[in-house]
Amino acid sequence: MLSGLVIVDKPQGWTSHDVVGRVRRLAGTRKVGHAGTLDPMATGVLVVGVNRATRLLSYIVGTSKTYTATIRLGQSTVTDDAEGEVVSETIAAAVTEEQIREGAARLTGEILQVPSSVSAIKIAGQRSYARVRAGESVELEARPITVHSFEIHDIRRERGGRLLDVDATIRCSSGTYIRALARDLGADLGVGGHLTALRRTQVGPYRIDAARTLEELAEDLEILPLAEAARALLPARELSPEEAIELSFGRRIAPSGRDDVTAAFGPDGRLVALLKDAGPAARPELVFAAQGGDAKGEQPT
């Protein structure tokens, strides 16, 4: 059974669900999922799991992300990006490069962020964006996030200097809304702001240079094998033949001495299980390879 990760360079205008549907057809399986939604406007790295690799996705979702973005200062929109209606415009001609860099610095580190009202966060069982589109006024609670870096690369004056377009690279924790960073930078500078372009260039260890377009994947479905994907994502533990057998049956083995989840590999290089220390032993969080390599024997523990 073909299992692994497909690193997709998502095209603009496609939803993440659209991409999953296309990979299902290309791989000939229904068991496909993705690790972290990209808005239709955004492009770039979308990590897609096929068959057994879908079980890795929950470990990928929480990793840090890197984006390149263009932020327009001087305009605010209802969606905090270019797809929404402009709700206010303020001449940004007086805003200096130094002020923009200082504003970005204030949005760096551990901060509280109010997500965009058109996010997919659920309120009383309904998506926030659905409530906004229905005409409701939505206020979401601030959430802790970490912006590891917010680097400004270029600032361009548009429409005779009335508007400023700011190119930036942002590395951040899972759960960060880049639209909200654009909104908050503009608010901090007193002129409003929104996102006009977004490209995700890295998810955890998976980078844009390994991503393939849907057209390329249609010609050659390039899949990162399960074991290779796990080695890139998690610390590795090499197992003895006896340990591999024990884990393949879901039994505990000697502790690894680490606090985090470890990917355990058999002598043949197979991914046997994901492990986590629990007191005097390491217990399998997930078992991928049953005794004899029968994929049907995989089981959560």
How many Cβ atoms are within 10 Å of 86's Cβ, its own excluded?
14
How is 36-80 classified by DSSP, letter by letter? S---TT-EEEEEEEEGGGGGGHHHHHTS-EEEEEEEEETEEETTS
| CB 152, CB 69: distance < 8 Å | no
Which residue among 39, 80, 81, 277 is the active-site one? Answer: 39
To which residue do tokens 């580190």 refer? 109
Who's near 236: CB < 8 A, 6+ residues apart?
A: 230, 262, 263, 264, 265
Query: In Å, how far are 1, 253, 277 from 259, measured between CA atoms?
Result: 32, 15, 7
| CB 71, CB 227: distance < 8 Å | no
Is 39 known to be catalytic? yes
| CB 222, CB 206: distance < 8 Å | no
| CB 265, CB 272: distance < 8 Å | yes
| CB 68, CB 175: distance < 8 Å | no
Distance, CA of 281 to CA of 283 (rounded, Å): 6
Q: Which residues are catalytic?
A: 39
